[in-house]
Structure 1
Amino acid sequence: MATKLDKDQLRGLVDPHWRRLYNFVFRLTLDRDRAERYLADVFTLAANSEKIPADGVEVWLLGLANQLLEERLPRQPEVNFDILDDVLRNEATRTDVVRSLSDPQRDFLLWELKQGCMTSVINCLPPGERAAFVVCHVLKLADDAASKSLGITESAYKVRLSRARKKIGDYLAPRCEHVNPMNPCRCAARVGTALHKGFIKPMGPSGGVVSLRKPQEPYGRYGTGSGNEDVPMRDISAIYGNLPEPDPPEDLGNKLVDQLAR
């Protein structure tokens, strides 16, 4: 039977890792409530384990998270590319909404729409391919660590990753202005629709429905940062590698420790 960890030991387990684990779980679920619940379950499994590894704790925790998600997520995506198109692209463009906004509001909502759409695209993949894409392009793990975290061989991981890249690339390449500025789908023209359908919300303390970024940070037109107003990222890995970490409740780490210590 595992020895119960004291509060300091629990904090040493949770504090260094919970944000990146939340990032992983949220990207695979696109649901903040589920991400918080699943994260608590992952750390419960970890705290009750017979032995916590001395090295490679993050990869071990990601492995626990991936196993839990494989058990709980449906084998087929809960959203698909057709649904995403229907939500964001089946209505006439509405540039009047962007023109009516102040610069901070405009920049924030354009960035919210970009990162929300990109995260939704990931969720159109089957869970296995989704996880491979996230550990590679969002968490930026090396191939050996990524495959270990998913509990598969490195060759199997590369197959999943290749399939995920192709599906995402095939979807974004003819549509998205962030891949090619000449493409027809432009965030400025879709903000009105996204607001109307609740895909994003107006600026507030916690941002939008799919908010991952705090409003005080500079974005640039393509979300590449201040001073890069007209620099589309083009490359899929660069686009996803530049997405900010999710913005979970600041006290979530403390809540996890308190819950585990009961």
Structure 2
Amino acid sequence: MSETLEGLVVKANSGDKKALEKILVEIQDLVYNLSIKMLLFREDANDATQEILIKIVTHLSTFNHQSQFKTWVYRIATNYLLTQKGKKSKEYSVSFDEYANQIDAGLSDNVNYTQNEGEIALLEKEVMFGCTQGLLLCLNEEDRMIYIMSVVLEFNSTEASKILDITPENFRKKLSRSKTKIKNFMSNKCGLVNKNNPCRCKRKIDFLIDNKIMNPNNLMEEKYYHRTIDFTDKIGDLQKTMAIYQTAPKMPAPDTILKEMKKALRLN
């Protein structure tokens, strides 16, 4: 039977470096995925993940075992991400109206970059992920985190409110507001949510590549998209919007993060 994280914490706090390394291995993906969903850009997510892991290690002795260790990790991660804005994510944060104008720009009926259907399908997924995650940057930091915790990570209001240190009622109120903003935007712009809208992920491929917003040589791998979208006319726009966000890829943290942490903590 594998050892619990809580048991590893006890050992790590007693000076066991192997236990500390196992903790980092177990939580790095959790921290990285929250960071990239909050900040969008991999450079920002990498930096944030390292900083959060350092905070976790340096404050490990303060974990009081009154909650699950991962809940405590999420609390530290969310506190950091709500106060420390990524450089690129801050630069690309715009209003909903400004983002609507960006969505309308550069729609093309053809994909000139490639004729390979498999590559086009992967590029479409990359566009969908980038577009929907970019839309979250239109929300303020707290509302964005609340939306991610509920819709993307699927925490219930009791769990998420404890992590964010707000009341469940306040969490639900803010979540409802964010859901409405995102749903209204996608209902008016996204062709996946409303087939009458002209925007399609495929139609944005060339524009995003030509303007160096998307790098076709640095795409997320197909295997990280853990759900597929299968919409019917029977579900509403809110359910479609949430389903799109729930297809967001879950990716492993880059190997360089653990290597840097082990080096800094002298775990080698």
Residues 147 and 80 of structure 1: CA distance in aligned 2, closer, same or farther (over 3 Å): same
Aligned partner of 2:7 in structure 1 is none
| CA pair 72-99 structure 1, distance change in 2 beyond 3 A | closer
Q: Which residue of 2 aligns with 1:138?
A: 152
Shift of 1:36: 1.7
CA contact (8 A) 1:143 1:154 kept: yes
CA distance in 2 between partners of 1:35 and 1:58 (Å): 19
Normalized per residue, which structure has more helix?
2
% identical equivalent positions: 21
CA distance in 2, matches of 1:197, 1:99: 13
Shift of 1:186: 1.2
Q: Is 1:27–2:37 an aligned residue pair?
A: yes
Indicate if the aligned counterparts of 1:80 and 1:124 stay in contact, CA closer than 8 A. yes
In the TM superposition, what is the alpha-carbon distance from 1:258 to its structure 2 partner?
3.5
Does structure 1 retain, via aligned residues, the 8 Å contact 2:35–2:49? Answer: yes
Q: Tell me the residue number matched to 1:68.
A: 80
Hey, what's the Cα distance between the residues in 2 that align with 1:129 and 1:147? 13
CA drift at 1:83: 3.5
Structure 1 residues 196 and 88, CA gap change in structure 2 (3 angstroms): farther
What does the per-residue CA deviation read over 1:25-70, in whole Å, with 9 as the maximum and x for residues that have no partner? 1121122222222222212222122332444112211111121222
- Kept after mapping to 1: 8 A contact 2:103/2:199: no
Deviation string for 1:194-229 (max 9, x for gaps)?
Answer: 212222122x3x31xxxxx3046789xxx826xx5x
Instruction: In structure 2, list runs of 5 or more residues that go unmatched.
Output: 1-11
Counterpart selection for 1:81 from 96, 101, 104? 96
Corresponding residue number in structure 1 for 2:8: none
Structure 2 CA distance for aligned equivalents of residues 242 and 5 of structure 1: 40
What is the rounded CA distance, in whole Å, between the counterparts of 1:32 and 1:83 in structure 2? 23
1-structure distance, mates of 2:160, 2:22: 23
* Aligned pairs (5 A) from 1:1-262: 5-49=15-59, 50-54=61-65, 55-73=67-85, 78-91=93-106, 93-97=107-111, 100-202=114-216, 204=217, 206-207=218-219, 213-215=220-222, 224=228, 234=237, 235-246=240-251, 248-261=253-266
TM-score normalised by length of structure 2: 0.80
**2:100 and 2:133 mapped to 1: Cα distance?**
14
Instruction: Decide whether aligned partners of structure 1 residues 182 and 96 sit closer, same or farther in structure 2, where only a CA change above 3 A counts.
Output: same
Q: How far has the Cα of 1:106 moved from its partner?
A: 0.7
TM-score, normalised with respect to structure 1: 0.82
1:236-262 Cα distance to aligned partner (Å, 9 max, x none): 221111211245424433433443346
Give distance in 2, aligned partners of 1:216 and 1:245. 9
SS in 1 for 2:198: coil
Displacement of 1:3 in angstroms is 5.0
Matches of 1:106 and 1:95 in 2, distance apart?
Answer: 13
Once the two structures are superposed, what CA deviation does each residue of 1:133-152 show, in whole Å capped at 9, x if it has no partner?
11111111122111111121
Contact 1:138–1:241 at 8 Å: present in 2 too? yes
